[in-house]
Amino acid sequence: MKAYLAGPDVFLPNAHENAAAKIAICAKYGIIGRPPLNEELGDLAQMPEDAAWRMIFRKDLEMMQACDIIIANLTPFRGASADAGTLIEVGWFLGRGKPVFGYSNSAASFATRSQAQIAAMPDPLTDLTVEGFGLPDNLMIPGAVEAGGGLQMILPADGRDRVFDALDMFEACVAAAARKLGLA
Amino acid sequence: MKAYLAGPDVFLPNAHENAAAKIAICAKYGIIGRPPLNEELGDLAQMPEDAAWRMIFRKDLEMMQACDIIIANLTPFRGASADAGTLIEVGWFLGRGKPVFGYSNSAASFATRSQAQIAAMPDPLTDLTVEGFGLPDNLMIPGAVEAGGGLQMILPADGRDRVFDALDMFEACVAAAARKLGLA
């Protein structure tokens, strides 16, 4: 069982150590974790930008095709919602009918985070709706997780935000996915 | 040819008028536009939140299944990137192998918008990478558009941001999609 380890983790300064820790956690639960790092692509800084990003895109898409499930880090990133690239990937797995699992290190509701975002960077128009429903993000995200993997998003049960790169919610998500898939 | 009209347009105070204008533009190019509004779902405010959001999710998924292509408004929304729900939907169409077309009313690069976001709401950790490549959003978004529909994201060619609910980039996207699909 190969899991695509989506998330803004790739933007961490210690992305490789983080990925190794995630792979080790997955292995405890009988899952092969595949992080979408770029280390096999050569020195991207030496390539024309257009060639570099398309190479990363193709590599990520091929890795998604080779994986059976996605375990997505849906912690908010540079805005009220989860990382943009991760959301494309979650949608792709849902479209393919491959199981979707996801977690967030944020305990705040989407409505609360949206209001904080608007306070810091006002909306371009007034009176744009703030989505409620008590959800952790735009309803398409918990919807994709629930419809795709049959579980709800894993969130801090104690109501406390985790630091951005904490891995306890990730491990809870991997454990829940393994149980759901009959691996544990 | 039915097009799912994804975007944060549903959060506009005049979402119905906006959707009607988009449908009329699509019709000029031989495309049937389907906006994911919630008007047929009854009074959502009278329903339990858990029932309401799941009903919207199911309705949107059914509408996506009934559509042939997606035309996505990828204008940034409450953060550095496009609307979260829209990104799930773009990924879903890519996963299904259905053509993806998209546009943005923002002329700024993703790197520029990311830096503005960080200035207004600092990252949770220092030294998180800011993605470059001169792209309009996280590379998965122009990647999904290019891989899915064979075109690049439609952006203001004059380098000027459009107002949030402007429709000229939308019309340029519909026209380009219609040409690509042999409708015009």
The DSSP-derived string for B149-174 is: HSSPPB--TTS-PPPTT--HHHHHHH
Q: Among A154, A79, A67, which residue's Cα sits nearest to residue A110?
A: A79
State chain B's mean pLDDT as an integer: 96
Mark yes or no for CB contact B132/A57 under 8 Å: no
pLDDT, residue A146, reads 98
pLDDT digits (tens, 9 = 90+) for B91-147: 999 999 999 999 999 999 999 999 999 999 999 998 999 988 999 999 999 999 999
For chain B, say whether A56 makes contact (Cβ under 8 Å): yes
Q: Which chain B residues are within 8 Å of A120, Cβ to Cβ?
A: 120-121
Q: What percent of chain B has pLDDT over 70?
A: 100
Q: Which residue of B has its CA nearest to A54?
A: B143
CA–CA dist A7, A101 (Å, integer)? 12
| Chain A with chain B: Cβ pairs closer than 8 A | 191
- Reported as type and span, the H/E element at residue B2 is strand B2-6
B49, B128, B144: residue with CB nearest A134? B49
For chain A, say whether B12 makes contact (Cβ under 8 Å): yes
Contact B67, B95 (CB under 8 A): no
In order along its 184 residues, chain A shows pLDDT tens digits of 999 999 999 999 999 999 999 999 999 999 999 999 988 888 888 999 999 999 999 999 999 999 999 999 999 999 999 999 999 999 999 999 999 999 999 999 999 999 999 999 999 998 999 988 999 999 999 999 999 999 999 999 999 999 999 999 999 999 999 999 999 7
CB-facing half-sphere around the CA of B154: CA atoms within 13 A? 21
pLDDT, residue A76, reads 98
pLDDT digits (tens, 9 = 90+) for B64-75: 999 999 999 999
Residue B184 has pLDDT above 80, yes or no: no
Cβ burial A145-179 (10 Å sphere, 16+ → b, else e):
bbebbebebbbbeeeeebebbebebbbebbbbbbe
For chain B, say whether A122 makes contact (Cβ under 8 Å): no
For chain A, say whether B47 makes contact (Cβ under 8 Å): no
Q: Among B26, B136, B32, B153, which residue's Cα sits nearest to residue B100?
A: B153
pTM above 0.95, yes or no: yes
Mark yes or no for CB contact A79/B117 under 8 Å: yes
The residues, any chain, with a CB within 8 Å of residue B26's CB and separated by 6 or more, are B3, B5, B32, B33, B71, B174
Q: How far is A90 from chain B (nearest CA, A)?
A: 6
Order of strands, sheet of A100-103, starting from the edge strand that comes earlier in the sequence: A32-34, A2-6, A69-73, A100-103
CB-facing half-sphere around the CA of A135: CA atoms within 13 A? 29
Q: Which chain A residues are within 8 Å of B138, Cβ to Cβ?
A: 83-85, 88
Residue B79 falls in which region: left (phi positive, over 0), alpha (psi -120 to 50) or beta: left
For chain A, say whether B32 makes contact (Cβ under 8 Å): no
Mark yes or no for CB contact A88/B91 under 8 Å: yes
pLDDT, residue B45, reads 84
For chain A, say whether B136 makes contact (Cβ under 8 Å): no
Which residues share a beta bridge with A32?
Answer: A2
